[in-house]
Amino acid sequence: MTNAAPWDGVISDDDKRRYELAGFGRPSGVGTRPALLIIDVQYRTLGDSPKPFDEAIEDYTTACGDVGWKALEQITRLLALFRQHDFPVLYPHVAPKRPYDAGTLGAKVPSIMDVPEQGYRIPPQIEPAPQDVMLPKKHPSAFFGTPLASHLIDLRADTLVVTGCSTSGCVRSTVVDAFAYNFKVLVPHDAVYDRSETVHQVNLFDMGQKYADVVSTDDALAVIDGLGTGRG
Amino acid sequence: MTNAAPWDGVISDDDKRRYELAGFGRPSGVGTRPALLIIDVQYRTLGDSPKPFDEAIEDYTTACGDVGWKALEQITRLLALFRQHDFPVLYPHVAPKRPYDAGTLGAKVPSIMDVPEQGYRIPPQIEPAPQDVMLPKKHPSAFFGTPLASHLIDLRADTLVVTGCSTSGCVRSTVVDAFAYNFKVLVPHDAVYDRSETVHQVNLFDMGQKYADVVSTDDALAVIDGLGTGRG
Amino acid sequence: MTNAAPWDGVISDDDKRRYELAGFGRPSGVGTRPALLIIDVQYRTLGDSPKPFDEAIEDYTTACGDVGWKALEQITRLLALFRQHDFPVLYPHVAPKRPYDAGTLGAKVPSIMDVPEQGYRIPPQIEPAPQDVMLPKKHPSAFFGTPLASHLIDLRADTLVVTGCSTSGCVRSTVVDAFAYNFKVLVPHDAVYDRSETVHQVNLFDMGQKYADVVSTDDALAVIDGLGTGRG
Amino acid sequence: MTNAAPWDGVISDDDKRRYELAGFGRPSGVGTRPALLIIDVQYRTLGDSPKPFDEAIEDYTTACGDVGWKALEQITRLLALFRQHDFPVLYPHVAPKRPYDAGTLGAKVPSIMDVPEQGYRIPPQIEPAPQDVMLPKKHPSAFFGTPLASHLIDLRADTLVVTGCSTSGCVRSTVVDAFAYNFKVLVPHDAVYDRSETVHQVNLFDMGQKYADVVSTDDALAVIDGLGTGRG
């Protein structure tokens, strides 16, 4: 982690001092076998093409726009390295909603129930391969109500690199569950995205203090490559 | 929800506009039978007596100080109303750590492994009654690795009022899981606390946008009293 | 429960006496709002048409044959009553396997990885309606790695009527989890089926002693109808 | 696995043929790092000393008597080997019941709510060491509502040796969940026990066909010793 952190603009020095005094934020490190999670990177969270937020939400109300397309570039780099080392890749994603899926979500965010088919597609830059695990989910965490933990145990993964959208929603809740399961977690801060920069930053800070090592994609690539080379 | 929100100081008008456009933040409402969750309100998160943060952490590195003691007053009011209407009360709490509990937590926040016995006590203002459910937990969410969901189903609760500490840690992750289980969730913003005001505010914003209705304790008391009276 | 139990042929009087002395097998009763679970009733567990076991397994190695088709008649009666009272119906079912689904199951029962498409279809007698919850699953219990608990909480169900296949596999493990979640459970013994009569009987005995009320479909229909009438 | 199986007396040749035709019962094998689960081996399931079933249930209605004490000898051998190789040992166990623990269990088996303190003790032959994981549980499966999965991931265990009581209750439901999580599972048939021999045998058959490799303690010791030696 470098001196300039993504949350510098919003987390004050006094807040940082408090967490430091409380003993939070120590690095948890990595294990030996990483898995890449690409969460909800679908046109519904990106928009149909790179464009500012205000235009992207005309494609889908759930779209984040340009920040998503920038993160997609970083995710593409991570994916290439995982494929090169033959490390497992999983795609937790939102499947089209059925009437019986409303629940508390349908009350809290009604617009989410009505997204066109195209919105659920995954862009070709990060197209899933036949051996990748496709994991439809109904709830924020990729672990909740899915067999993700079973897949990770089967794949013998001990370290998760978590990417995608949104930083404050599905990414964060997946990271919290991964931490609770005692997986090591890396969050590349430029490979996750959100519709609000402040929310994005504070959630990165929270994850970095309590649940995960928050690093740049460059640093994550170096760590993963080290594991892959050491393994080979 | 009133015009002045707890997150006004940190979430910009443009960010609010983005969430509004995305269709987030609609009220999810309540059901008919609420349960009160009092999470981690132990001396280890409060300090041994009301005092500023910098003094409280000399009692326990995990203490939040004055903000905790203020929230405790609100929790005490909520507890009294729940007892009056004979609604269920549950105390998810941290139990003393054993060597085998370290896991990723021990790596990320090593100081948390070494808290004196007194730190685990619950203050007398909110002393558990014999029928209350005591729920020791090892991980942030009160649902993770505990039988909380089973207790709530047994108690026929459909609505959770979530209080305690920390807003960004165990409170938030419990709220996300409660939402995923399709419980209705109320978070009284002055009955939860954190070591950083900014982090507290942004996490309240996130919960209010996506997972819960964030209200004042006054408003929560009115809602619960309505359910209790309607029931009788 | 009548004097002649389905397990009379295999559980000895001394065994029954032992369980009686241990205090097992008391009725748990029902709540107020039942949900019907129809588990894995697909051609792959039935065979393509009613026929003896030895012929059915030529359709699919996982087929049970005639006993399945007989149970299907009872499930059809239960489904009609649930539809009449507008009680919720859920279909946990096995979805076509993908290469990454093998896991321990692929090692233990390799033939299960290679079932033709038609085997996954649900017969028209019990065709799902648009409002029914379709629940693809990868593991024996309908709760494991699925959002079943969330759906049941959303539907406000407190009682499960569990039907389908196999008695010793997905039915039993679903019943155990339903019990652990504190749902009330009814198992109509002639609406569940298995490839071995002895195994079927002993598993019914186990469930009746520890986890569920095991009754005839006739008795279950009377209980459900009582709940539906009382509700209207 | 030898020619004489523990279920030979109750599972007919035709039933065996049916499972064979269905392709069940293939060995799943073991991984590289085993963990030993000793489930509910407390005086409440044994009786206070070795004696026949009818006398043991005068100590505790939940006691199995002599069969438990015989299994305890095998568990003691397994424990010694795990300690020798420094492989992890976990004790899922029943903690004394509180009033709020009744749930569906209290309805189904009311006698289970009222066991004297001594009944919860673990016998000295298999006394837990400080580094062993103590895991109080409320429900049949050692995974349900407990952090067992998190401990196993932290311990890097990929294979579970499941022992204790009862074969048809907590052992079986733990084995089913372990299988669903994609752990490899070994059940030493003479290190698990139940109050009914028939029920014991059929549950061993079910587990062997679908979820686990069922072997003798002798064979399990050889396998574990191989892993320990290969590791060193």
Residue D36 has pLDDT above 90, yes or no: yes
Own/partner contacts of C144-148, CB < 8 Å, gap of 24 or more, are C144/A147, C144/C173, C144/C177, C144/D177, C144/D180, C145/A145, C145/A146, C145/A147, C145/A148, C145/A149, C145/A150, C145/D180, C146/A145, C146/A146, C146/C92, C147/A138, C147/A139, C147/A144, C147/A145, C147/B180, C148/A145, C148/C90, C148/C92
Q: Is the pLDDT of residue A48 over 80?
A: yes
Does position D2 have pLDDT exceeding 80, yes or no?
no
Nearest-CA distance A210 → chain B (Å): 6
**C85 touches B at CB < 8 Å:** no
> For residue A107, what pLDDT is reported?
83
Q: Is C116 on the interface with A (CB under 8 A)?
A: no
**pLDDT tens across A140-175, in order?**
999 999 999 999 999 999 999 999 999 999 999 999
Calculate mean pLDDT across residues C206-211. 97
Could you give the CA distance from residue C13 to residue B231 in angstroms, rounded to a whole number?
A: 48
pLDDT in tens, C44-78: 999 999 999 999 999 999 999 999 999 999 999 99
pLDDT tens track for B91-137: 999 988 887 888 888 888 887 778 888 999 999 999 999 999 999 99
Distance CA B142, CA B92 (A): 6
pLDDT at site C3:
61
What does the alpha-carbon distance between residue D215 and residue D200 come to, in Å, rounded to a whole number?
A: 14
Both tokens of residue C77?
């009666």
Would you call D11 helix, strand, or coil by DSSP? coil
Active site residue A64: no
Which residue is it, tokens 């995960």? A212
3-state secondary structure of C205: helix
Pick from A88, A21, A64: nearest CA to A193: A64
D19 chain-C contacts, CB cut-off 8 A: 195-196
Number of DSSP helices (H) and strands (E) in chain C, helices first:
9, 7
Cβ atoms of A135 and A162 within 8 Å: the answer is: no
**CA–CA min distance C14, chain A (Å):** 41
* Domain architecture of chain C: domains with CATH: 31-231 (3.40.50.850)
**Nearest-by-Cβ selection for B150 from C156, C158, C181:** C181
Q: How far is C125 from chain D, CA to nearest CA, in Å?
A: 26
| Tokens representing residue A24 in the block | 């939070």
DSSP per-residue letters across B71-116: HHHHHHHHHHHHHHTT--EEEEEEPPP-GGG-HHHHHH-GGGG---
Residue B159: closest C-alpha in chain C: C153
d(CA B102, CA B118): 20
pLDDT surpasses 90 at C111: no
pLDDT of residue D232: 36
The answer to whether the CB atoms of D182 and A156 lie below 8 A apart is no
Look at residue B1 in the predicted model and tell me its pLDDT.
43
* Inter-chain residue contact C138 with A144, CB threshold 8 Å: no
pLDDT digits (tens, 9 = 90+) for B72-86: 999 999 999 999 999
Residue of higher predicted confidence among D103 and C2: D103
Segment B159-197, tens digit of pLDDT: 999 999 999 999 999 999 999 999 999 999 999 999 999
* Mean of pLDDT values over D145-171: 98
User: Which chain B residue is nearest to residue A44, measuring alpha carbons?
Assistant: B22
Query: What is the spatial distance between Cα C182 and Cα C175, in angstroms, rounded to a whole number?
Result: 11
Judged by a CB distance cut-off of 8 A, whether residue A176 touches chain B is yes
Q: Best residue in B87, B135, B150, B181 to probe D by mutation, most D CBs within 10 Å?
A: B150
Q: Is D103 on the interface with C (CB under 8 A)?
A: yes
Which residues on neighbouring strands pair with residue D162, listed in sequence order?
D37
Say how far apart CA B37 and CA B191 lie, in whole Å: 11
Q: Which of C8, C62, C104, C137 to mutate to test the interface with D (most CBs of D within 10 A)?
A: C104
- Chain A residues within an 8 Å CB radius of B53: 18
C98 lies within 8 A of chain A by CB: yes
- For residue C6, pLDDT over 90 is answered with yes
pLDDT of A30 > 90? The answer is: yes
Hey, is the C-beta of D60 within 8 angstroms of any chain C C-beta?
Answer: no
Exactly one of D41, D170, D186, D220 is catalytic; name it.
D170
Per residue in A174-209, pLDDT tens?
999 999 999 999 999 999 999 999 999 999 999 999
| Residue C232 pLDDT exceeds 50 | no
Q: How far is C39 from chain A (nearest CA, A)?
A: 17
Q: Please determine, for residue A232, whether its predicted confidence score (pLDDT) is greater than 60.
A: no
DSSP B137: E
Type of residue found at A202:
V
Taking CB atoms and an 8 Å cutoff, what residues of chain A touch D151?
182
Instruction: Calculate how close chain A gets to C88, using CA atoms only, in Å.
Output: 10
| Phi, psi of A143, rounded to the nearest 5 degrees | -90, -25
pLDDT at D1: 43
pLDDT at A1 over 60: no
The pLDDT value recorded for residue B232 is 36
pLDDT for position D114: 81
The answer to whether the Cβ–Cβ distance between D153 and A180 falls below 8 Å is no
- Is the CB of B98 inside 8 Å of chain D's CB atoms? yes
